[in-house]
Structure 1
């Protein structure tokens, strides 16, 4: 799919959406015929209908997702309780959950493997754009074992609905869609995204596309930028511009007892690497999926589901006009899940579960001067189960996963084999009462996890520019082993809500990149080697929403004539220690607190508040860079209206109102670039328009 086709797909999808929106607006249909602008299909990482009560899940969708949406997945989720962004400039950002990042997190697309190389290096982007995303779910707890033992820190599932799992239309058929335009921000973003679905109760077709471009990021300080030997000073981050385009299509046949769907998508991106002023990365990912489900299978199973995915990923690093290091990764995944009928007993107890098998294979090839990992092949097979026992007082859940993992160094022929086994249990005690279900809900989860080392942790041997080191793997690495426990509670009283969770992750063998104290003579880089250490991460995350004005239970005033006003609060912190060497782990977010006044009245909504991050002085080495504390003030306003069967959403985001100079402690650039490390974005205004029908 070339650039012309991608831009054409964006234009066609956008005009199709806007044309359908105009037609709907002119149809004269009454507002009462309009139920929801987009049919929301539940495709979370949790296949059990009620098991979400026993799993801590954060979710973004609808207007909340539209207004939080950034150019990367990490930026979009940043500052949710317990989640930070491992920013490598404005174009690259993976989530950091409870202090864990990289391949200790799973990033899924519609419940399937993503198969990129973003966990391999900090400057590798996740090839998923939030513009074509319908919903993002963050999952922790026993249910993560359904998808992989690598989800020690958690799991992020990005949902685009290219395959329809449920009926969106009746027998007469119909069309729904969404078109979105964005402009502004600290990187002067210009983006367009669109989605259209059409069909009836027997078939559904889906098409989506996006086009996003940004310029160099505006920041609150002067930055040196050297291009072609000429150095200039500007208030922008050198080489931080980007262009990204993508498109996807899917078709689904819907049966009385299931569905069968196919989808294909392509993602292209060209972006500056920030750490090197003359290096850009050109990325291409093609992804195909087949998925189906058969329900009520001859009275044996409630559902039998399969999912097959195939991915071809490639990116090339270009120093100037030359061709540099190239990364190619490709593979497939096959999942088969069986969901037996729920077992019910006379006392009201119910047992419901899912079990399945999964096979994943991929090959990585790296060529060029900075090929710090050899070609490798990874094959894994797994069996898994997750069971939930529902009772009158709450729920108990348990999950288990057994894997066989083989990693082969294609250059030397060395094979490393691992057999990780993970198990987790959880419980939820419901103390809520009455029709309003006010009161407390308590939960706790305990897991024993094992993770097989990745190819780069085993076989790396070369210069890695993103970390400014010469990395050396450890082919004798054992399984990474962790014991994790969390306990928390959620309270609700009318419009008031609050939650708090404490957690501890204790690693008996944490695979960490450690300084050896020596330098590589050829590249003049410090040598870092992977080593298994004992580590512990302890932390807390909390949030609350209090109704201050509007309603009989408001804390200040019951007068709702001017709308409702809530006070939204959040806080989190993580303390992470390398117990073997008696020092902190690197790139950990400091304690963060935030508050927002949220106002809504009829079609209008507004938000004004701040996020404060404390200073981070806990760094591994005495000479490492620490980060000062900062406070970022932000605001937003939105207006929603309906014209016939069309919903229009206009919004504006105002970020870093005081133009505060701030640095991210979770970014490796803070350490590798010193005083020229890019700070967080400066003051900016972003405008958006979304139409959905």
Structure 2
């Protein structure tokens, strides 16, 4: 579907929904209340209130009061978060045309954690809640140059890097298109999944929270969610406390002379709400125990402006966002392509529209329509200033979703559809054929409550079609032609409450991932990736069959979770080092796209203990093993093997000891990684390491301001170590000792 047609259809749908269906039904449900300190009974200001199911939020005023209007009838989990207090999840039922009054009491707490919270209803289903959630405070404490660096030490997570700037999260050994990254529930529209040197265009300093979603709920976003979904919430829709509020932050670190700053502002204007944010980041070359890592500077700017209108019948919202970054790729060894490094410049602009109508017709809950248009441009330059590669992507997404009510057979069912149009172009030395990619999908999600047993299930059917600008036969790539892929993904999750504290859950998954444009049609040198990349026009889709089982215990003083998982991936798509030099560029090894059967299995464990009112301990560990079940023989025939899958993280563990003395908290952390002695073909093993860190937080509350400070020491002993998923680990080790200071002001 062409650009102008999609835009016209979107605007027409928004108009029809808001004018033809929106007026007859005017739900007047709302939530209001007050938050008090449980010990002193005094009002608590600056409490962040978030309703996950509808991405709505508010903040308490100086009197501890809050008000959230225009809430559809239904069951919700309301999250109350405030620095210095236990996080509280309040499970409520909002009735039609009613005001739900909440009197919330928060307990001052020494145990600040993103995973352990107070639950006020033990029978509540957690099926629609994220598997892992990191709040704003924790994001600030762990803040790194990139999203991947910010979350790399969490259980099951790692980062794959090609320098400080181009870093991508890895979850359970999977990344790229198998781990879907979202910002406010939408795809970022960049090319970060296609090559190791392409940066993720999500700025962590502007994030309010982060969610990791797995299982049936993840299928609302894609069929390629074997690892799951990481959703970065940039701004919670409508801070409806009817007063101007916002936050300013600034930070600095020593390891790269880096600085970062951001500002966000919420302005309510009757039924209209304006949100705006901006950020700036600049860093010089990274220092390691072996010296400075050349050409690793980065300079990034981002911003967003959003205007929403929230009449009684629903919501209309429009926004514009931009992201710009200039960063360097470190020099390779002299015989590999670019001994002086590569400079990359990228720009991205996004326009988003959203419409929502409460109960447009009998039997339907909210009908939501979203559209976005993203223009992305990316250039790569050698040290001489020559344009080595250029990539352009124009992407559009249109989605619809709603849920049923009042029909017993359809009760609790959510449905949606999704459309994508991508116009891809490349230039410079790359020879990837310009192509158009279109996708369309429909999905359905349902959950059931059988008392202690709760289940959810989802099904998603998707088609992807790739149309090259030119059809031809290439000696290396193969028969370049139109390709079309259709398949389904499905997932079933069940959780059983053994008691008020013990919970057992299991998930079954069948996932589907079609190859992308560059995987099919690439043919040319990519210096920033240290490779001559060759696609495979005959690739077939990946099909994943997975299972997961876990058990957890939570009584607020002790939290424990143990999870094991197994994924069988038929036709695992990856760029395999052939070990041969390209005949066109003898300074680069030839990487060929292949699809080979594989399996990935692993175990994750986490324990959190509240030892006293001031001291707590958190311990986590994760182990993963990936194996190729087939590979190519010397005469290029596929044979059965059992050899390590490339780029698999080693066993890792972490320890956090927190001592709290309001308004201060002190956290000692230790992060351990074992030897990776099962490297893939042409990979080198890495040695074990143990890294120590220290964090000191404190806050200064006021009547209208809240100041927070965080001082962090990373790699306190200046250890020389190498992460296995760092593509340049053979050139330089990881960053050395780093002192970080981060300040945030809420107003």
Whole-Å separation in 2 of the counterparts to 1:268 and 1:359: 26
SS of residue matched to 2:161 = coil
TM-score (norm 1): 0.85
Contact 2:342 2:528 in 1 (8 A): no
When residues 32 and 328 of structure 1 are mapped into structure 2, their CA distance, relative to the original with a 3 A threshold, is: farther
State whether structure 2 residue 245 is matched by structure 1 residue 176.
yes
Whole-Å separation in 2 of the counterparts to 1:278 and 1:469: 14
Q: How does 1:260-409 map to 2 (within 5 A)?
A: 260-275=316-331, 276=338, 277-320=340-383, 321-341=385-405, 351-369=411-429, 371-409=430-468
User: Counterpart of 1:573?
Assistant: 623
SS of residue matched to 1:573 = strand
User: Counterpart of 1:606?
Assistant: 666
Whole-Å separation in 1 of the counterparts to 2:137 and 2:234: 16
Q: How does 1:117-196 map to 2 (within 5 A)?
A: 117-161=191-235, 165=237, 168-169=240-241, 173-196=242-265
1:276-301 CA-to-partner distances (Å, cap 9, x unmatched) read 53421111010111112111223321
Whole-Å separation in 2 of the counterparts to 1:344 and 1:549: 48
When residues 615 and 155 of structure 1 are mapped into structure 2, their CA distance, relative to the original with a 3 A threshold, is: same
User: Counterpart of 2:650?
Assistant: 590
The offset of 1:219, in angstroms, is: 0.7
SS of residue matched to 2:294 = coil
User: Counterpart of 1:544?
Assistant: 607
SS of residue matched to 2:137 = helix
Whole-Å separation in 2 of the counterparts to 1:636 and 1:209: 26
Whole-Å separation in 1 of the counterparts to 2:612 and 2:577: 55
User: Counterpart of 1:641?
Assistant: 700
The offset of 1:595, in angstroms, is: 0.7
SS of residue matched to 1:297 = coil
Whole-Å separation in 1 of the counterparts to 2:324 and 2:41: 40
Contact 2:363 2:407 in 1 (8 A): no
Contact 1:38 1:176 in 2 (8 A): no
| 503-512 or 316-325, which deviates more | 316-325
Contact 1:540 1:574 in 2 (8 A): yes
Aligned residues: CA RMSD: 2.2
When residues 265 and 334 of structure 1 are mapped into structure 2, their CA distance, relative to the original with a 3 A threshold, is: same
Q: How does 1:436-475 map to 2 (within 5 A)?
A: 439-475=501-537
Contact 1:293 1:306 in 2 (8 A): yes
Contact 1:241 1:271 in 2 (8 A): yes
Higher relative contact order (CA 8 A, sep 6+): 1
Whole-Å separation in 2 of the counterparts to 1:628 and 1:580: 27
The offset of 1:158, in angstroms, is: 1.3
Whole-Å separation in 1 of the counterparts to 2:327 and 2:576: 29
Whole-Å separation in 2 of the counterparts to 1:198 and 1:100: 40
When residues 78 and 517 of structure 1 are mapped into structure 2, their CA distance, relative to the original with a 3 A threshold, is: closer
The offset of 1:40, in angstroms, is: 3.7
Whole-Å separation in 2 of the counterparts to 1:429 and 1:94: 34
Whole-Å separation in 1 of the counterparts to 2:537 and 2:48: 50
Count of aligned pairs between the two proteins: 617
Contact 1:45 1:157 in 2 (8 A): no
Equivalent residue in structure 2 for 1:36, among 5, 22, 46: 46
User: Counterpart of 2:675?
Assistant: 615
Contact 1:627 1:663 in 2 (8 A): yes
User: Counterpart of 2:555?
Assistant: 493
Whole-Å separation in 2 of the counterparts to 1:692 and 1:407: 47
Whole-Å separation in 2 of the counterparts to 1:508 and 1:48: 40
User: Counterpart of 1:15?
Assistant: none
When residues 409 and 45 of structure 1 are mapped into structure 2, their CA distance, relative to the original with a 3 A threshold, is: farther
Equivalent residue in structure 1 for 2:482, among 402, 410, 415: 415
1:467-488 CA-to-partner distances (Å, cap 9, x unmatched) read 4332222211111011011001
Contact 1:246 1:265 in 2 (8 A): yes
When residues 574 and 55 of structure 1 are mapped into structure 2, their CA distance, relative to the original with a 3 A threshold, is: farther
Whole-Å separation in 2 of the counterparts to 1:456 and 1:523: 19
The offset of 1:256, in angstroms, is: 1.5
Equivalent residue in structure 1 for 2:740, among 679, 686, 690: 686
SS of residue matched to 2:720 = coil
When residues 343 and 500 of structure 1 are mapped into structure 2, their CA distance, relative to the original with a 3 A threshold, is: farther
Equivalent residue in structure 1 for 2:159, among 85, 90, 106: 85
State whether structure 2 residue 684 is matched by structure 1 residue 625.
yes
The offset of 1:39, in angstroms, is: 4.7
State whether structure 2 residue 308 is matched by structure 1 residue 246.
no
The offset of 1:128, in angstroms, is: 1.1
The offset of 1:351, in angstroms, is: 4.5
When residues 310 and 641 of structure 1 are mapped into structure 2, their CA distance, relative to the original with a 3 A threshold, is: same
The offset of 1:185, in angstroms, is: 3.6
User: Counterpart of 1:57?
Assistant: 131
| 375-384 or 182-191, which deviates more | 182-191
Contact 2:562 2:605 in 1 (8 A): yes
The offset of 1:97, in angstroms, is: 0.6
User: Counterpart of 1:664?
Assistant: 723
TM-score (norm 2): 0.79
User: Counterpart of 1:429?
Assistant: 496
Whole-Å separation in 1 of the counterparts to 2:622 and 2:427: 41
Specify every segment of 5 or more residues in structure 1 that has no aligned partner in the other structure, as ranges.
Answer: 1-29, 222-234, 434-438, 551-563
State whether structure 2 residue 215 is matched by structure 1 residue 215.
no
State whether structure 2 residue 570 is matched by structure 1 residue 514.
no
The offset of 1:526, in angstroms, is: 2.9
Whole-Å separation in 1 of the counterparts to 2:652 and 2:194: 28
1:579-615 CA-to-partner distances (Å, cap 9, x unmatched) read 1132111111100011111111221111002000001
Specify every segment of 5 or more residues in structure 2 that has no aligned partner in the other structure, as ranges.
Answer: 1-39, 57-73, 78-124, 332-337, 473-480, 632-641
1:496-546 CA-to-partner distances (Å, cap 9, x unmatched) read 111111000101221132344543212013323222211000001111110
Contact 2:672 2:688 in 1 (8 A): yes
The offset of 1:376, in angstroms, is: 1.6
The offset of 1:311, in angstroms, is: 0.2
Contact 1:43 1:110 in 2 (8 A): no
When residues 432 and 332 of structure 1 are mapped into structure 2, their CA distance, relative to the original with a 3 A threshold, is: same
Whole-Å separation in 2 of the counterparts to 1:41 and 1:31: 24
